[in-house]
Chains A and B, each alone.
Chain A
Amino acid sequence: MSVRMRTALALALVLAGAAAYLATAMHVDRDFAAFLPQGGDASQRFFTRQLRDSPAARLVLLRIGGADPVTLATASETLRAALAADPDFDYASNGSLASGLADLPALHAARYVLASDAAAHMSVDALREALRQRYTALGSSMAMLEKRFVADDPTGETLALLGRLQSAASARRERGVWFDADGTHALLVAQTRAPASDTRAQHAAGRALDAAFARSRGVAALRIDYSSPGFMAAASEASIARDAARVSWIATLGIIVILCIAYRSLPIVALCALPAAAGLVAGLCTVTAAFGSVHAITIAFGTTLIGEAVDYPSYVLTRLRATRTVAAVQRELRRPFVLAVLTTACGSLAFLASGVDGLVQLGVLTSSGIVVSGAVAWWIVPRLAPLQWRFRALASRPGAGWPRARGASRGAWRPAALVAVTLALLAVAFGKPPWDDDPARMSPLPPQAIALDRSLRSAAGAPDASRFALLRGTDVEDVLQRTERLRPTLDAAVAAGELAGYDDAARYLPSAATQRARVAALPDASTLRERLAQAMVGSPFRADAFAPFLHDVAEARASPPLTAATFAGTGIGLRIATLLRHDDGAEWSVVPLRGVRDPAALAARLRGDPVGATFVDLRAQTAAMFAQFRRRIAAAIVAGALAICVILAIGLRSPRAALEAVAPALAGATWTALGVVAFGGGLSLFHLIALMLVLGIGVNYALFAQAAADRGDALRELVVTLAVVSGTTAFAFAVMASSAIPVLRAIGVTVLAGTLSTLCACALIVRPRFPQEGV
């Protein structure tokens, strides 16, 4: 067996073993919490954990258009019934009576504790008026709707409750169902059973919805639009996956073509991919062994950073000539190669100090992966390369092509050029916001999707998916009482125009104290019988007609307070379950806010309320988390750059040489960062991750350029090497920069601009250190 065969076999075995380990042990974590800094206040932690299950995030808003209102109302009702019966949905409503009917028995049974003013309806005068109204109703054409509750509910609590709870959404009602303000679309709301973060289930629910609509629409011209945070998340993930797949195919194909042109050998091209692949596998194994799971974002960012290793074989291969052996080339390249690997590995270790789980993982993944990539590129790739293969001959004299040695007066303009470019960019960037932490701008969804969501939300009067008041209590009773005590404050805020409305758990489940107070206010059996008898003097009703009413009121007075379990399996039970949450040993009450117009005033008002409510603005909070995350990455980059400088100073044994090696990368990264601020609307954390890659790559370019200059290679040789390594990088990230997905575009543009500007900076900075004769 030849050395090549043995090496190949051993490598295949190791990779297979690692793959088997990953297949059994690696768990991909999609919980964004791993990327959030530890600490924060209790409400922040609550939402971090509950993000996936936020009740409003499961709410789907639908509208049907494209026909006359009568057809739309029919289609709305058919679709509502289909969704209500669909296992993917917990709940569907269009404001119709039928959609409330399922809850009617539960509402009816609980009417004397849910109605806030039932006792007030039981004075003699109020009863007399109620009986008069009931009699009128019995003589009307709609008697059928009302009469089932006449005997046991003459004061009309059940139907009033149904109307009040159903009007939580403030849509206009037409032909019995919700319509938008101009009456052109029927509106519905539904709630998916799966949490918003379960993108696969959200996708399935979307398909079920489409199928239900296709079955129920009848008229071909009907159109449906719908939106929900869950569907939007599923759509973003799908579009990211689609675009990432497209980018990686085109980029891979382009890299293969470039390498084929450079090397004219398919085995060599295949070998170029080996170090990066081995590094990624090794990095994943290390993280899995250390943490038990790998976060999906860690994998994505880590793959980007390890991508640098695609260049490693090229540094060696482009120097293999007919006159040079592998051993000879490696002897020449040992120092820059080792430093190239070490700088990236140590630079990435700076992430370890970030204190954020996901970033620590990223540091471990990148540094271990880069070290393994380097080892494979150095020791394995040359052994696997076909023995006779050599890079094409380049006819050039040693030392040819370099500009004059440093110190020559003709080169004095070069530092000036560096400074001038930096100052020019600084001037354009000056005064512009340096950071971009708005998560919305990172959304991969087309603007139409976001506009649709906004218009559906305002048409249906649905709560903002991202704004809540949050209350914390020791037990359910405590948190329900706090929820009730918060109401005057919220009502005042509504009156002041700070928000349009709110919903809360106590609407559906009053605190036991309130329940007790309400039933205690009800007249006792003999009082009520007496009042009713007085009210019935001269009434058309039979004397014993309201025996069921007397019985039910007496029973309500004697019954223990209702609990959430009373409503299990009903729409009301679902509302309670989504608004009352148990988490981390405490009970939480989520109060969705609708139409928040003045968040600052509302937050101040809530802070001033002794009940202890927190105003949660999920979007602002996510932006704050992004900012915190971004700050830690920025700190890691600074620390990484310092580590790189130290390693270079030690490895090159000369601060001056170290400065020469690090300056082009720093200049390139600085120019790119300034460019993004000047023309791109600020640096996001994705730009920063990409800048980390720019630093790693840039130091490599300078190290190899410096080594070539010091060796006295012809400039053309260096140019060919850099053309191959930067050509593949620039192509791959140019494809990424063309993506419609903001995150991919941010990374692509940054690395592309960073690579090109680092090359320019290299050309300005790196000078040969020996006296030479010129061209």
Chain B
Amino acid sequence: MHSRQARALRAAALGCALSLAACATQAFELADLAAARQRVAASAARFHEIRHIATLAAPIERSGTLSYRRPDHLAMSVVTPQPEELVIDGNTLRVSTPKGERTVALDSEPALLAWTESLRATLAGDVTALSKYFVPVLSGDAGGWKLALEPRDPVLHAQIAVIVIEGAGDALRRVEVRETGGDDAVMDITPMPVPAQ
């Protein structure tokens, strides 16, 4: 009686341990990605983007660098097709071109805000901000993951179908914006050392 109970308990405990181990190797949760990103204070990358636009005969290619600094600073320096600097700080987006500078309050332009947050909240590992604007669905594992972000706001959803971010570990590799009208933009990202401040 006593030893049979002990055996059963041992078996149950073993079963639990095995299944836990299985979970740990199989599932890569949003919280895990967030935790990984939260350990990154700053990051930088080169990007190469291809835009497919219905009215254009050929896609537009854009390239430049990206840099991020916790918690909400994101800068994008575009080299081609025309030079452009974007600095996103908090709620402000500042765009400078050789022709001039323009500042936008992000929450006054929902499409821009969503695009910004998809990138910035992912970089910050801010699940709350992500979930505020999108329904996030994560697939894959730590070695190669894919985060699909579907806009919650119907107005925004009428413009953007989904934003898919791919990566490995705490690094982003690719950001794809699929528009409802059929246009899309795919941005490939190559990590590079964070430039000294």
Interface residues of A (CB under 8 A from B): 70, 73-74, 76-78, 96-99, 135-136, 138-145, 147-148, 150-151, 173-177, 540-543, 545-546
B95 contacts A74, C-beta separation under 8 Å: no
B90-125 Cβ-contact flags toward A at 8 Å (1 or 0): 111001010000111101111110010000000000
Complex Cα distance, B60 from A541, in Å, reads 11
- Please count how many residues in chain B sit with their CB below 8 Å of the partner chain's CB atoms: 34
**B51 contacts A by Cβ under 8 Å:** yes
Closest to A72 in B: B105
**A145 contacts B112, C-beta separation under 8 Å:** yes
Within 8 Å of chain A (Cβ to Cβ): is B56?
A: yes
Closest Cβ of chain A to B67, distance in Å, is 15
Q: Shortest beta-carbon distance, B84 to chain A, in Å?
A: 6
Contact A74 B105 (CB under 8 A): yes
Q: Which of A136, A542, A545 contacts B82 (CB 8 A)?
A: A136
- Measured CB to CB, the closest approach of chain B to A544, in angstroms, equals 9
Task: State how many angstroms separate the Cβ of A679 from the closest Cβ of chain B.
Answer: 55
Instruction: Give chain A residues whose Cβ lies under 8 Å from the Cβ of B112.
Output: 142, 144-145
Contact across chains for B91 and A140 when beta carbons are under 8 A apart = no
**8 Å CB contact of A140 from B53, B97, B105, B183:** B97
Contact A96 B55 (CB under 8 A): no
A177 CB contacts on chain B under 8 angstroms: 105, 108
Question: Closest chain A residue to B112 by CB distance?
Answer: A144
For the complex, give the distance between the alpha carbons of A762 and B168 in Å.
105
Q: A77-B108, A141-B76, A144-B111 are in contact. Are A175 and B56 (CB under 8 A)?
A: no
**Shortest Cβ gap from A95 to chain B (Å):** 9
A97-B109, A175-B104 known; A542 and B57 CB under 8 Å?
yes
Cβ-defined contact, B53 with A138, below 8 A: yes
- Is B73 positioned at the interface, with any CB of A under 8 Å from its CB? no
Chain A nearest CB, measured from B189 CB (Å): 16
**Complexed CA–CA distance, A99 and B105 (Å):** 12
Cβ-closest chain A residue relative to B58: A540
Q: How far is the CB of A175 from chain B (nearest CB, A)?
A: 5
Known contacts A135-B56, A143-B51, A147-B183; 18 further A-B pairs (Cβ under 8 A): A73-B92, A73-B105, A98-B108, A138-B60, A139-B51, A139-B60, A140-B95, A141-B76, A141-B86, A148-B159, A151-B54, A174-B103, A175-B92, A175-B104, A177-B105, A540-B56, A542-B56, A543-B57
Instruction: Determine the distance from Cα of A541 to Cα of B54 in the docked complex, in whole angstroms.
Output: 9
**Is B174's CB within 8 Å of the partner chain A?**
no
Interface: B154 (CB within 8 A): no
Q: Which residues of B contact A148 (CB under 8 A)?
A: 159
Taken together as a complex, chains A and B put the C-alpha atoms of A78 and B107 apart, in Å, by 9
CA distance A540 to B109 in the complex (A): 28
User: Which A residues are in CB contact (< 8 Å) with B86?
Assistant: 141
- B76 with A545: CB separation less than 8 A: no
**Contact assessment for A70 and B56 in the assembled complex, using a CB-CB cutoff below 8 Å:** no
Q: Do B105 and A77 touch (CB < 8 A)?
A: yes
Task: Please name all residues of chain A whose beta carbon is closer than 8 Å to the beta carbon of B104 when the two chains form the complex.
Answer: 97, 175-176
Contact A70 B60 (CB under 8 A): no
Contacts of A136 in B (CB 8 A): 81-82
Q: How far is the CA of A695 from the CA of B102 in the complex (A)?
A: 70
Q: A148 to B159, alpha carbons, bound, how many Å? A: 9
Bound complex: CA of A540 vs CA of B54, how far in Å?
11
Question: In this complex, what residue of B is CB-closest to A150?
Answer: B55
Which residues on B sit within 8 Å (CB–CB) of A147? 53, 183
Contacting residues of chain B (68-92) with chain A, CB-CB under 8 angstroms: 76, 78, 81-82, 84, 86, 89-92
Is B62 an interface residue, CB under 8 A from the partner? yes
Is the CB–CB distance between B92 and A140 below 8 Å? no
B62 lies within 8 A of A541 (CB): no
**Known contacts A73-B92, A98-B110, A141-B78, A541 near B56 by CB under 8 Å:** yes
9 contacts between A and B (CB under 8 A): A70-B89, A138-B56, A141-B86, A144-B111, A144-B159, A147-B183, A174-B103, A176-B103, A542-B54
Contact, CB under 8 Å: A142 / B95: yes
CA distance A583 to B104 in the complex (A): 43
Q: Are B57 and A73 neighbours in the complex by a CB distance under 8 Å?
A: no
- Measured CB to CB, the nearest residue on chain B to A96 is B108
The answer, among A73, A77, A141, A543, for a CB contact under 8 Å with B84, is: A141
Contact in complex: A70, B92 (CB < 8 Å): yes
B91 touches A175 (CB 8 A): yes
Residue among A73, A96, A545 with the highest chain B CB neighbour number at 10 A:
A73
Chain A residues within an 8 Å CB radius of B92: 70, 73, 175
* Cβ contact within 8 Å between A541 and B55: yes
Taking the closest CB of chain A, its distance from the CB of B80, in whole angstroms, is 9
State whether A139 touches B82 (Cβ < 8 A). Answer: yes
Cα A78 to Cα B54 with chains together (Å): 35
Of B56, B58, B62, which contacts A545 at CB under 8 A?
Answer: B56
Contacts of A73 in B (CB 8 A): 91-92, 105
A140 touches B109 (CB 8 A): no
- Tell whether, in the assembled complex, residue A540 and residue B105 are in contact, meaning their CB atoms are under 8 Å apart: no
* Residue of A78, A138, A174, A175 contacting most chain B CB atoms (<10 Å): A175
- Give the distance in Å from the alpha carbon of A75 to the alpha carbon of B78 in the complex: 31
Q: Which of A74, A138, A141, A150 has the most CB of B within 10 A?
A: A141
9 nearest A-B residue pairs (beta carbon)? A96-B108, A545-B55, A176-B105, A73-B105, A176-B104, A139-B81, A98-B108, A175-B105, A139-B60
Q: How far is the CB of A131 from chain B (nearest CB, A)?
A: 10
Question: Known: A73-B91, A73-B92, A97-B108. Contact between A541 and B57, CB under 8 A?
Answer: yes
A97 to B92, CA, bound (A): 14
Task: Compute how far the CA of A151 lies from the CA of B182 in the bound complex, rounded to whole angstroms.
Answer: 14
